[in-house]
Structure 1
Amino acid sequence: MGGNCIHMLNDQFRQTFVGGRVMMTPGVAAMADEDRRALIDRVRRFDEFTPDNDPYGEHDFGSIDLGGCRYFWKIEYYDPTLTCGSSNASDAAATQRVMTLIRADEY
């Protein structure tokens, strides 16, 4: 299973925001509501994975250009208490997914 299971769990989380937490940097939080909604919609619909931007096939990172700015989204894997990394990202019960929306100049 491995990477394929991880990419399915990541896609499900990214598309629904269910099964983890979504965070944003101050630059994303400061966006106009309409622009932030457009960014979130683009993150949910993102499907531009290639061997260059997704070398492990986990669908855990993306880059989006919107309104003249570049944004990233990144999914990281933590244990259920959010105190350390997950021991098995392919096990949804053992993993709390955290996706961060980031303006590229904040990275």
Structure 2
Amino acid sequence: MTGRDDDACLATVQLRAQQIATLNDKLRRSAIGGRLHLTSGVSSFPQNDIVQILRAVRDFDQFDGDNDPYGEHDFGAFDYAGQKLFWKIDYYDRDQRYASPDPTDPKVTLRVLTILLASEW
């Protein structure tokens, strides 16, 4: 491979990550483009707390090389009421049997945003 081929490959990988991040951000910020799942630990919080937790996930913007190494905006961690919480986005095929064949394509991908207590990991 030449340097030019390497640059083209890197550009393709970066474009793909950007497309995935855009779709993930859309789900996380608006609940459009997938499903939301709260684990039993998160569901046990009072309703007002759940609203605040959803708001924290929606507003999360602390992506960096440590928590987002591929640039896909598919994971976050934050503290709420003395608890460490995580959120993550997984990509399934439309039948939810296997991984998505192409997470950049909403026609073949079902995104699932899961919010959980770190202790449930």
**In structure 2, what is the equivalent of residue 21 of structure 1?**
35
TM-superposed deviation, 1:92: 1.2
- Letter of the structure 2 residue corresponding to residue 18 of structure 1: I
Quote the offset at 1:28 in angstroms: 0.3
Q: Please say which structure displays the higher CA radius of gyration.
A: 2
- Residues of 1 paired with 2:73 and 2:27: CA distance? 11
Q: SS in structure 1 opposite 2:103? A: coil
TM-score (norm 2): 0.86
| 1:24 CA drift (Å) | 1.1
- For residues 89 and 9 of structure 1, the distance between their equivalents in structure 2, rounded to whole angstroms, comes to 9
Q: Which runs of 4+ in 1 moved over 2 A?
A: none
Aligned partner of 2:95 in structure 1 is 81
- 1:74-105 per-residue CA deviation (whole Å, 9 max, x = no partner) reads 00000111111001101111110001110111
Two-structure CA RMSD over aligned residues (Å): 0.6
2:103 matches 1:97: no
Is it true that 1:8 corresponds to 2:8 in the alignment? no
Distance 2:62 2:55 in 1: 14
1:43 is matched with which residue?
57
Unaligned runs of 5+ in 2: 1-14
Q: Distance in 1 between matches of 2:111 and 2:98?
A: 12
In structure 1, which of residues 54, 76, 80 is the aligned counterpart of residue 68 of structure 2?
Answer: 54
Question: In structure 1, the residue corresponding to 2:107 is in which secondary structure?
Answer: helix
AA in 1 matched with 2:26? Q
- Fraction of identical pairs, as percent: 42
Q: Name whichever structure is richer in helix by fraction.
A: 2
